Amino acid sequence: MATATTASPLQRAQARLAYWLVAPATLLILLIYIVPIAMVIAASLTDYTLVSDYFEFVGLDNYRRMATDDQFGNALHNTFVFAVMFLPAAFVVSLVLAIAIQERKQFRSILEVLYFLPVTSTLAAMALVWAALLDSRQGVINGVIAALGLPPLNFLGSQDLVLFSLALISLWSTIGFNMVLFLAGLTAIPKNLYEAAAIDGADHPLDRFFKVTWPMLGPTAMFVAITTSITAFKLFDVVAIVTRGGPDKASEVYLYLAFLEGFEYFNMGYSAALSLVFLLLILVFAIIQAVVVDRRVHY
Amino acid sequence: MAKLSLNGICKSFGKTAILKDISLDIEDGEFVSLVGQSGCGKSTLLRVIAGLETPDSGEIRIDGARVNDAAPKHRNIAMVFQDYALYPHMSVAENMGMPLIMARLPLHARLPLLRHLAPAHARERPGIQRDVAEVARKLRIEHLLDRRPAQLSGGQRQRVALGRALVRDPKIFLMDEPLSNLDAKLRVQVRREISELHASSGLTFVYVTHDQVEAMTMSSRVALMQGGSILQMGAPNTLYGNPDTVDVARFIGSPEINILPGTLEDGVVRCGEIVLPIAPAAGGGLRSGPVQVGVRPEHMVLETVPELAYPARAGRGLSLTFRKQTIEDLGGEVLVHGRLDGHPEHDVRIRAQKSEAYGCGGSLSEARDWEVRVNPAHILLFDAGGMRLRAEPVLADDHAEPAALQGGLRKKLDLV
C-alpha cells in the first residue's frame, strides 16, 4: 500500500477489514471461474486424454489442428447456419410479440405468462417432447401437414431440415424471455413521448415505431441481441438430446463438437482448446456490448 | 390565431368523473390559465383540447369548426409538456424539425433507409433546416442546435420545447405546467419570456398551472377549477377582488385569505362579539344565518402608524385586537401569525411591510397585542355553503374615500 506510511491506524484497520470482507467472494470467484479457466488453458496446451494419466505439453498443436480439422469447419458452419436462422427470428418475433402484447389491455398478463412458460420449463425434457412432435412418422406436426395434403417432412432426419428444426425448438424456448426483456424496455418509454409525437404529427404506427419506440428501445435491443447471439452459439442441450449431432454430423454444432472431442473421443486437450476459442468468441460479444452499449445507445 | 370554444365537456375514467360539464369560450389571442389543485381536471381538460383524450360528451370547436374527431395533428395546436417530452435520441434541431418533417414529407420519405431514395427528402430538407434555424434564433438557442436534450439545462430544454411548438406555426398554444421543473429564479424569467412570446405572437394560449401566482401574472383570464368544474372564470383581478365562492377566495391570493365564522341577523353581520360595518346588499336574499367572513392578510393593516399604512383615520373602518404569535420574515415584508380577540381557535395571518411591523413598537419576536384595522370594502362575506354574499360598507359618515380604495388597490397590484 503506497499510502501506508501516511495512513492513520483507523484507515489501516478499515483497509484490512475491507480485504476480509471481499475475501469470501474472491475465493468463490477464484474457485469457480479463474482456476478452472487456468486449468483449461493449461490442458489445451497438452495432449491429455481421459483414458490415460500420461500427457505431455504439445504447445499450440491443438490450435493448429483446428485450422485443418474438417469436423471443426463443419461444426463452425453448422453453428453459423443455425445462428443465421435463429438470431433474426428470436429478435424480431419477440419484439413484435412484445409490442402487440404491450398494446393490449385485456389478457395482457395471461399472454405474458403463456409466452414465458417455455422459459421456465426444463429444456431437456421439452426437447424430448419436441422430438416426438417433429417425428417423421408419428409426429403430430407431420400429421397436420399430411391433413393439409402436403408431403411429410423429415424434420430431424433430413440434413437440410435438421438445423431449421433445431432453430424452431430454440426459438420456442427463447422468445418468451426476449419478449419479457422487450416488454420491460417498452414499459420504460415515457408515454408522453408518444403524445408529443402525436401532436407533432407522428401518429402513424410506422412513425411511432421508428421515431420513438425503436430509438428508445436501443439499450434493450442491444442487450437482447447480445444475449441471443450467445444463446445461439452455445446451442448444446437440444442437439445432445434430440439429434446427437446427426444425421451424418449435419447438426454437429460448436459446443457439441467440443463435448464429443472431450468425452466421446477422449481428446481432452483438443476439447479444451475448442472451449477456449469459444470463450474468446463470447468475450468478443461481451466487449461489443460493454463498449457499444455504453457509448452509443445511452443518452 | 383562433377562437376556442368548449361546450358541455364531460370525461370520466372508469367510474371517476374527471370533467363535469365544462363550457368555456376563449377568444382569439387570449391567454387563459386553467388553475387548480392537482386532480382538479385541468390537465385532462388541456389534453381534451389537444386531442390526446376524447371527451365522453360535449363539443370542442376551433374557429367554429367541430374538432372532436380530429387527430391532434389536424387541430393546428402545439403543446408544451410539463417535462418537455423532448426526444432524447435526437439533437435539438431534429427535435424542433419533427413537426415539419411530419407535415412536409410523405410517409415513405420519413422511413429509415428508404428516405434516402425519396426525392421529397432532399427537396424539403433545406427548407426545414431554415425554418428551424429561424425559430432557434428567435428563442436564442441557435448555438444548441447540435446538442442532445441530455446536454441541456432545464431552462434550455424548456426553450427547445417552446421551439418545437412554435416551429409548426400553430393557432393555439397549449402548455401543461411548463415551469414546474424549473428553479424559482428561472421560473420568473421564463414566465416573462412566455408573456412576451404571447404578446409578440398574438396566438391563443391555454396554460395549465397549479401555481396561482403564475396564473395571475400571465393571464388575460383565469379559469379556476375544482373537482372537475370551473368555479369561476374571469380576469385575475376579478378572481382576487371579487371571488364568487369562498373556495376561489382561498385559492387566489397568497398567503391564503383569513376566514372567520360569523353570523347574520336581520342584516347585521357579527364576527364573534364585533359587529362588522357591512351589510348584505339589498336583494341579496339571505338576511339571517351563519356566514363566513373573509379578509386577506394584506388587507389587515397594523394600526400604530396609520399615516404610513392606511389612509383611514381612527374611528373609521374596523379595529381589531390581534395577538401576535409567530413572524415569518419574507425580506421586505413580514407574515405575522396570531389570533384575533374572540377567535382563539383560528390562525389569522397578516402581511405587512417590515417597517410597519417595527413601527408597532417592541422587537418582532416579542409577544404582544397589536391593533389591526380593516377597510370594510375589503371584507368578503360568504354564506355557510361558501357562496359569496354581496355586501356594502355601512358607515355613519362618508368613509369610503377614493384614496383609501386606491391604496388598497395598489396593494393588490403589488401582490399580483
**Residue B139 pLDDT exceeds 80:** yes
Contact, B55 vs B19, CB < 8 A? yes
d(Cα B188, Cα B168) in Å, to the nearest integer? 26
More confident residue, A50 or B183: B183
State yes or no: pLDDT of B207 exceeds 90: yes
> Which chain A residues contact residue B52 at CB under 8 A?
195, 198-199
Chain segment A225-255, per-residue pLDDT in tens: 888 988 888 888 888 888 887 788 878 888 8
**B window 116-155, beta carbon within 8 A of A:** 148-150
Task: Give me the pLDDT at residue A296, please.
Answer: 58
CATH number at B254-415: 2.40.50.140
Q: Which residues of A touch B50 (CB under 8 A)?
A: 199
Number of domains in chain A: 2
d(CA B65, CA B239): 31
Longest distance between any two alpha carbons in chain A, whole Å: 86
State whether A206 and B111 contact (CB < 8 Å): yes
Lowest model confidence (mean pLDDT) among B198-202, B251-255, B321-325, B376-380? B321-325
pLDDT at A35: 94
Is A2 at the interface with chain B, CB within 8 A?
no
Of B236, B208, B264, the C-alpha closest to B383 is: B264
Write the ipTM. Answer: 0.77
Q: How far does A192 lie from chain B, in Å, by closest CA?
A: 6
Residues in chain B: 416
Judge whether A149 lies within some domain: no
A201·B88 Cβ contact <8 A: no
The mean of the pLDDT values for chain B is: 83
Q: Does any domain span residue A186?
A: yes
More confident residue, B400 or B245: B245
Provide the shortest C-alpha distance from residue A140 to chain B (in Å): 42
Does residue A53 lie within any of the structural domains?
A: no
Are residues B73 and A199, on separate chains, in Cβ contact within 8 Å?
A: yes
Disruptive mutation site among B79, B175, B177 for chain A (greatest number of A CBs within 10 Å): B79
Which residue's C-alpha cell is 365537456?
Answer: B9
Neighbours of A235 (CB within 10 A): 24
Q: Chain-wide mean pLDDT for chain A?
A: 85
Q: What are phi and psi of B56, to 5 degrees?
A: -70, -35
Is the Cβ pair A198, B102 closer than 8 Å?
Answer: no
pLDDT in tens, B34-73: 999 888 999 999 999 999 999 999 999 999 889 998 888 8
Tell me if A196 and B89 make a contact (CB, 8 A cut-off). no
Neighbours of B174 (CB within 10 A): 27
Whether residue B114 lies within 8 A of chain A, CB to CB, comes out as no
One domain for residues A18 and A83: no
A54-108 pLDDT per residue, tens = 878 787 777 888 778 888 888 888 888 998 999 999 999 999 999 988 888 788 8
pLDDT exceeds cutoff 70 at B399:
no
| Residue A298 reports pLDDT greater than 60 | no
Higher-confidence residue: A151 or B179? B179
Residues in chain A: 299
Residues A108 and A195 in one domain: yes
| Number of CB pairs, chain A paired with chain B, less than 8 A apart | 72
Give the three cell numbers for residue B261: 365564522
Over residues A116-127, mean pLDDT:
84
Cell of B252: 387566489
**∠ Cα B137 B139 B140 (to 5°):** 60
Q: Residues A9-63: pLDDT tens digits?
A: 888 999 999 999 999 999 999 999 999 999 888 888 888 777 777 878 787 777 8
Q: How far is A49 from chain B (nearest CA, A)?
A: 54
Percent of chain B's residues with pLDDT above 90: 23
Closest-CA distance of chain B to residue A191, Å: 9
Separation CA B310–CA B332 (nearest Å) = 18
Nearest Cα residue in chain A from B164:
A200
Residues of chain B contacting residue A202, judged by C-beta atoms under 8 Å apart: 98, 102
The CATH number that domain B4-241 falls under is 3.40.50.300
Q: The domain containing residue A20 runs over which residues?
A: 8-44
C-alpha cell at B412: 393588490
- Give the closest of B79, B81, B88 to A299, CB-based: B88
pLDDT at B12 (0 to 100)? 92
B164 touches chain A (CB under 8 A): yes
Nearest to B78 among A199, A206, A299 (CB): A199
Q: In this model, does residue B409 exceed pLDDT 60?
A: no
**Residue of B73, B88, B110 with shortest CB distance to A203:** B73
Query: pLDDT band for position B284 (50/70/90)?
Result: low
Cell of A268: 481432452
**Binary contact (A195, B77; C-beta < 8 A):** no
Q: How far apart are CA B412 and CA B416, in angstroms?
A: 6
How open is the CA angle B44-B49-B55, to the nearest 5 degrees? Answer: 65
Give the span between the Cα atoms of B346 and A267, in whole angstroms. 92
Confidence of residue B407 (pLDDT cuts 50, 70, 90): very low
Tell me the chain A residues in contact with residue B148 when contact means C-beta distances shorter than 8 Å: 299
Q: Is there a domain that residue A191 lies in? A: yes
Q: What is the pLDDT of residue A24?
A: 95
The CATH number of whichever domain residue A280 belongs to comes to 1.10.3720.10
Band (pLDDT 50/70/90 cuts) for residue B412 is very low
For the residues B152-157, what does the mean pLDDT come to?
88
**Which residues in chain B are contacts of A220 at CB distance < 8 A?**
none
Which of A195, A215, A216 lies closest to B52 in CB terms? A195
A101 touches A186 (CB < 8 A)? no
Query: In sequence order, what DSSP letters do the residues of A147-179 get, joined into one string?
Result: HTTPPP--TTT-TTTHHHHHHHHHHHHHHHHHH
Q: Delimit the domains of chain B by residue range.
A: 4-241, 254-415
The share of chain B scoring above pLDDT 70, in percent, equals 87
Rounded to the nearest 10 degrees, what angle do helices A218-233 and A162-187 cross at? 150
The reply to whether A206 touches chain B by the CB within 8 Å rule is yes
- For residue B221, the model assigns a pLDDT of 93
pLDDT at B411 over 70: no
Q: Describe the strand order of the beta sheet including B16-26 as a list of residue ranges.
A: B16-26, B4-13, B57-62, B65-66
A195 and A282 together in one domain? yes
Contact criterion met (CB < 8 Å) for A199 and B52 = yes
Cβ–Cβ below 8 Å for B73 and A195: no
Cα–Cα dist B12/B20, whole Å: 9
Tens of pLDDT, residue by residue over B113-137, are 777 777 777 788 888 889 999 889 8
Cell numbers placing A154:
423429415
Q: How far is A202 from chain B (nearest CA, A)?
A: 6
- If one compares B360 and A237, the residue with the highest pLDDT of the two is A237
Q: A142 lies in a domain?
A: no
